[in-house]
Amino acid sequence: AEEFGIKQALKDLGLSDINNGTSTGEDWFGDGDIIESYSPVDGALIGKVKATTKEDYEKVITTAEKGFKEWRTWPAPQRGEVVRQFNDELRRLKKPLGKLVSYEMGKSYQEGLGEVQEMIDICDFAVGLSRQLHGLTMHSERPGHRMYEQYHPLGVVGIISAFNFPVAVWSWNTALAWVCGDACIWKGSEKTPLTSVACQNIAARVFAENNVPAGISSLITGDYRVGEMMTTDDRVPLISATGSIRMGKIVAQAVAARLGKSLLELGGNNAIIVTPDANIKNTVIGAVFGAVGTCGQRCTSTRRLIVHEDIYDKVKDAIVNAYKQIRIGNPLDENNHVGPLIDKDAVKNYQAALDKVVEEGGKILVEGGVLEGEGYESGCYVKPAIAEAENHFEIVQHETFAPVLYIMKYSGDVSNALKLQNGVKQGLSSAIMTNNLREAERFLSAEGSDCGIANVNIGTSGAEIGGAFGGEKETGGGRESGSDAWKIYMRRQTNTINYTTELPLAQGIKFDL
């Protein structure tokens, strides 16, 4: 860690003394059990924080509710100005924050920087958005009446995020929610608590400088029990939860039981269809980055490759060959492509998936395995693997959050590939590699991909912030980030104004007294 400047990064982020277990900062309360954060990179203890207790949570929610009452009255462009300044700090701290993301989560330093860049991009978007929170005007059916709609701040937004994008997912939500006039309470992943603290510290500093009311950005720490404090709390009108389908089903029910709103961003089972008209070189780059990037721990990671039989052997050989070039090791060393999995439980799940695919009749094309020896002491480094498999295998139907790629054949028309692609319960990201217009348009049509994201001639992973991000079916249906995803963070109101001396009723109903 030393060689890669982790100590300095922690210092730059104001986390030098994070090892002493004290964990109260600006708008951040914790007095519960100690959570230790170990790096999957080298197994070292990076720091400790305390979990949020029920009493701490009460303080957080009451502060957030109070802060919201004031914040909602700030003009949206002024809220945008605070987000602009927050973004300046992100730009200044991009390197140390990217480094901490890489060291605590295990993704490559380049991907860590990319994650902070996503935060910067969404903040830019939010600043512009702060002057564009538009509603429509409609023509009233009644004479002398005007009708329009407007969007008001919603309240306290609860954000629950996963370990694999420990900082970007928070910003996708907060940057929009803040300009929309909401207060945000964030429960980051218990596997990456320090990146959460680093982000909260940045927000707290900028907010204090701008006299933003207390509680507009709050952090709570801990596992699902701390998450449940928000999901069951009717003072939190919106829960935005990112994580596994298992978690999403529990959270959705808890929020629905109190008729709250939820925005769910859950697991994917993403496929690339490779047709006879595909550019093979680009297919290989897209598929390999999609399958092994972030060590297969992106919600948009490529899990399945559906290849036409005419080019199957060619594509298979090219991908198997490309896997030989992959360098696995310390993700802070920019010579490596693939870092570790998040922890040893993830390693166990990876091994179980490889056993299961063989048990179900699959054939291993690129052998997996856990790496040992110098540089691999944390026990979390694994070899990306490829298996030939069939879509209906139980293991293929589930998301294994690890670098395991399943490759399968289709014959005939692209509709046969689409049947396979859509033949899973998840619906996040999808892609087709083809230079054939008919195939591409078919893939994008109403009878094409059933996913929230459908790409042509790029892979499944690496979305831009300008589009709405999310997926269908068991992926949960939520949309975050660009386009009009901001609307969920606001409450919508339709207004009809009568400027006559009469009172005509809608639908021409007569009612005279």
What is the contact surface with ligand NAD in residues (CB under 6 A)? 160-165, 187, 189-190, 223-224, 227-228, 231, 242-244, 247, 250-251, 265-268, 299, 399, 401, 428, 471, 475
Please, what is the minimum distance in Å from the beta carbon of residue 429 to ligand NAD? 9
CB of 230 to ligand NAD, least distance (A): 7
Provide, rounded to whole angstroms, the least separation between the CB of residue 460 and ligand NAD: 12
Residue number with CB closer to ligand NAD (182 or 265): 265
Minimum Å distance from CB 218 to ligand NAD? 15
* Beta-ladder partners of 49: 35
- Are 197 and 49 in contact by the 8 Å Cβ rule? The answer is yes
Looking at the Cβ atoms of 112 and 213, the one nearer to ligand NAD is 112
Judged by beta carbon, residue 255 or residue 284, the one nearer ligand NAD is 255
228: annotated active-site residue: no
Beta 238-242 vs 156-160: how paired, if at all?
Answer: parallel
Instruction: Look at residues 268, 305, 321 and name the one whose alpha carbon lies nearest to residue 417.
Output: 305
Angle, helices 76-92 vs 94-105, to 10°: value is 70
**Rounded CA separation 151/168 (Å):** 25
Q: CB of residue 310 vs ligand NAD: minimum separation in angstroms? A: 32
Q: Which pair of tokens denotes residue 95? A: 């390197």
Choose between 169 and 408: whose C-beta lies nearer to ligand NAD: 169
Q: Which of 190, 265, 474, 480 is catalytic?
A: 265
Is-contact 121 469, C-beta < 8 A? no
- Element of type H or E holding 437: helix 437-444
Considering beta carbons, is residue 349 or 436 the nearer one to ligand NAD? 349
In this structure, how many other beta carbons lie within 10 angstroms of the beta carbon of residue 315? 21
Angstrom distance (rounded) from CA 79 to CA 69: 14
Structure tokens at 89: 């700090």
End-to-end CA distance of the chain: 82
**HSE of 139 in the Cβ direction (CA atoms, 13 Å)?**
2
Which residues are catalytically annotated?
265
